[in-house]
Amino acid sequence: MSGWIAIAGLGPGREDLVTPEVTAMLAEATDVIGYIPYVARVAPRDGLTLHPTDNRVELDRALHALQLAAQGARVVVVSSGDPGVFAMASAVFEALEKHAEFGDTDIRVLPGITAMLAAAARAGAPLGHDFCAINLSDNLKPWSMVEHRLRLAAQADFAMAFYNPRSKSRPHQFAKTLEILLEECGPDRLITFARAVSTPEEALNTVTLGEATYEMADMRTVVLVGNSATRRVGRYVYTPRSAE
């Protein structure tokens, strides 16, 4: 009886954005571990134990997965989007590093459609040139580092995608983000607020930095900022492949 862990990305929400690889792995699982709303996306069945846990216990969750796999369980750790982008994959490897006794665990990471690419697809092609992805939460890094990265990313003329732009515990940081961007990129730069993409609550809103306010983002929003060449064509927003 040999257990394993698959760290799987469920995509942004709609079922037809889950890869067949992930669907097949879930069908083989004995245990599914993850944040409550993601585990809720997995259909219960005989022989499958669901382990929904609260937010901010990523390392406990990862250790639990290692323990179950060591006992022979086939464990799928679920994230929304892609598990390697601000999600559970790093947490599992952190736990593996801390607990050498699980060093032989068979671990696979199964990619998924990450939020920024689902959002970009709905908007048009705002990430069609070089771009960066920044987690705006300061749970795991100092806010000064976020500010430093924002300024360098703007100076590099990257298009940008922001995950976790705003939470109840830090309402002012996203306002500060917009202030920095306005300073570095000017008021005409396009910014897209993409909420709950591919779900019934989906809402897209593209404005200029001059028009943007921090209330336009919430916890379910991914934010896309264009580079200096990003523009509208009809109802779409796109970044040309060429830089002048």
Count of residues near its own copies by CB under 8 A: 71
Rounded (to 5) percent helix, strand, coil in the chain: 35, 25, 40
Among 17, 50, 180, 182, binds its own copies (CB under 8 A): 17
Residue 57 in contact with its own copies, rule: CB under 8 A: no
Q: How far is the CB of 4 from its own copies (least distance, A)?
A: 14
Pairing of strands 221-225, 49-53: unpaired
Pairing of strands 190-195, 49-53: unpaired
Tell me whether residue 188 or residue 215 sits nearer to its own copies (CB atom). 188
Residue 233 in contact with its own copies, rule: CB under 8 A: yes
Tell me whether residue 49 or residue 236 sits nearer to its own copies (CB atom). 236
Residue 78 in contact with its own copies, rule: CB under 8 A: no
Binding segment toward its own copies, per CB under 8 A, in 45-53, 64-72, 138-146, 215-223: 138-146
Q: How far is the CB of 172 from its own copies (least distance, A)?
A: 20
Per-residue CA distances from 10 to 16, 26, 56, 75, 224 (Å): 10, 10, 19, 15, 21
Tell me whether residue 46 or residue 244 sits nearer to its own copies (CB atom). 244
Per-residue CA distances from 188 to 101, 107, 207 (Å): 55, 46, 9
Residue entry with tokens 């990257």: 158
Binding segment toward its own copies, per CB under 8 A, in 27-35, 46-54, 82-90, 212-220: 82-90
| CA 204 from centroid of its chain's CA atoms | 17
Tell me whether residue 35 or residue 86 sits nearer to its own copies (CB atom). 86
> What counts of helices (H) and strands (E) characterise the chain?
7, 13
Angle subtended at Cα 199 by Cα 48 and Cα 206, rounded to the nearest 5 degrees = 145
Binding segment toward its own copies, per CB under 8 A, in 30-38, 70-78, 186-194, 235-243: 235-243
Residue 158 in contact with its own copies, rule: CB under 8 A: yes
Residue 187 in contact with its own copies, rule: CB under 8 A: no
